Structures are given as structure tokens and as C-alpha cells.
Amino acid sequence: MRNVRPETGGFFQRDRTWQPPAFTPGYKTSVMRSPQRAPVSFPHTLSETTGPVFGHHILGERDNDLTLNFAKPGESAIGPRIIVYGRVLDERGAGVSNVLLEFWQANAGGRYRHKKDGYLAPLDPNFGGCGRTITDANGNYFFRTIMPGAYPWPNGINDWRPAHIHFSLFGHGFVQRLITQMYFDGDPMIWQCPIVATIPERRAIEGLIAALDMQATVPMDARAYKFDIVLRGRHSTLFENRMEGN
């Protein structure tokens, strides 16, 4: 392993015209949960530029295989088998190592294993719906799962979520923390979803749609989707005049 000196610079300003605003009335729950005052900015301190580290030792053997990690011995989850892989990069294009990725999703019928999900689609006794992994030195990750189903949700009288996988990521600084969702190549439901529509720019939405990659499939086993994720970039400290005691 390379012995890289940890970076200590602040992070690029977040582009708030690219990210979804807090108040998005098409997604009704945001109305009462959106701050209305301007958020306050200040230069990044150690509280922002540092962040927790998770070692590979926390991972169990099946943490990145949702087809098996809740299944009874010898059985596996129902649904089209897929591999999701990609890289975690930062805005400079550099791979981000040691990123803890956690993901969760509905089963193939669109039902979550959660006491608050009452959708009539059945639970799959062999599917829990959670997984996790940590990126390698170049920012690569992968996991196995089944294709989640679309599901209806209470917003308008007939709103449906496109098939999606929820992602949570830690970068190297606490202000790189990100939660997002991955959608699937070719799904017409993406463009009808009020939660997707909270994102102002089409290009930003397209950045959340994983590409089908037939070259990465495992023949007679699982198709592959490529999903790269970009975290905030970091200022280099190379050019800085170091202040005393800093």
C-alpha cells in the first residue's frame, strides 16, 4: 500500500444551485421540514475537514451481497440478479479511498422490510435489503443484489418511485457526507418522480442513473450496472501560507 500523507485542506464550496433546494412543494413532506432562512457560511475548521474512519475490519464476508446476507443457508433473494460497481471520486476526479458505502433498497416487488411499509407486495423471507462496503485505494467498490421494484407512495394520489437503491457515503471530511439514490438506465419512471424532480438540473439527475454494462456482467449469473459517485473536492494546501500554529 502507498503511504500517502493525509490531506488537510478545506473543501470546495457546495453548489447549491445544483443540489436540490430544501423547499420543494412537489415533494410534500419537504414543505414543513425545510429551513426558510439562509444557511450561514464560515471557513472550514478542523470540525469540517476531519471525519470518522471505518476500517475494513468492520465488514463481514456477506456485507456486500444482498442476495445472501439475509437469506437462509442454501437459499437466496428473489429477483433479477445484478452487480452494482463503480468508483467514488471527488470533484477533482481523484478516486476516494476508504469510503464507507452503505446501501438499502426494496425487494423485487417494491416492498421494504420496515414496520412502516404497508405496501401489499409481499416480503421476501430471504431479503433484508441492506449492505455495505468500503472503497479500495483507488475508490473502487462493488456489491451484489437484486433489482428492486418500483413502489407507490403517499404524495399525490398516484405517485410511484422508480426502481432505486439508496446510498450513504462518508468521504474524508464530515462535510463530504452524502446520501443519494441510484436509478436504472432506461427506466421511464425516473422522469415522473417528485423526489427525482427536487433536483433542478437534468444533468444532475442523469448523474444518478447507473449505466447497464454488459462487459462487466458475469455470464449466466448477474448483469452489471456502473454507478460512479462524486464527493466534494478538496483544496490543496500546497500553495498556502501557513499561519503560525496552524
Nearest distance from C-beta of residue 212 to another protein, angstroms: 19
From 74-82, 87-95, 142-150, 214-222, span contacting another protein (CB under 8 A): 87-95
The Cα 170–Cα 90 span in angstroms is 12
Residues 94-123 that bind another protein (CB under 8 A): 102-104, 112-117
Which residues 6+ apart lie within 8 Å of 30 measured at CB? 22, 23, 24, 198
Query: From the list 1, 2, 46, 120, which residue makes contact with another protein (rule: CB under 8 A)?
Result: 46
Regarding 53 and contact with another protein (CB under 8 A), the answer is yes
Q: Which of 87, 164, 172, 232 is catalytic?
A: 164
| 184 grid coordinates | 436504472
| 80 grid coordinates | 433479477
Which residues 6+ apart lie within 8 Å of 29 measured at CB? 155
Regarding 175 and contact with another protein (CB under 8 A), the answer is yes
| 21 grid coordinates | 433546494
Regarding 35 and contact with another protein (CB under 8 A), the answer is yes
Regarding 149 and contact with another protein (CB under 8 A), the answer is no
The Cα 224–Cα 70 span in angstroms is 21
**H-type alpha helices, 159-221:** 202-206
* Residue 119: active-site member: no
Cβ proximity to another protein: between 159 and 217 the closer is 159
The Cα 212–Cα 84 span in angstroms is 9
Q: Which of 62, 166, 223, 235 is catalytic?
A: 166
Query: From the list 25, 56, 75, 92, which residue makes contact with another protein (rule: CB under 8 A)?
Result: 92
Regarding 37 and contact with another protein (CB under 8 A), the answer is yes
Regarding 126 and contact with another protein (CB under 8 A), the answer is no
The Cα 40–Cα 182 span in angstroms is 30
Residue numbers annotated as active site: 112, 151, 161, 164, 166
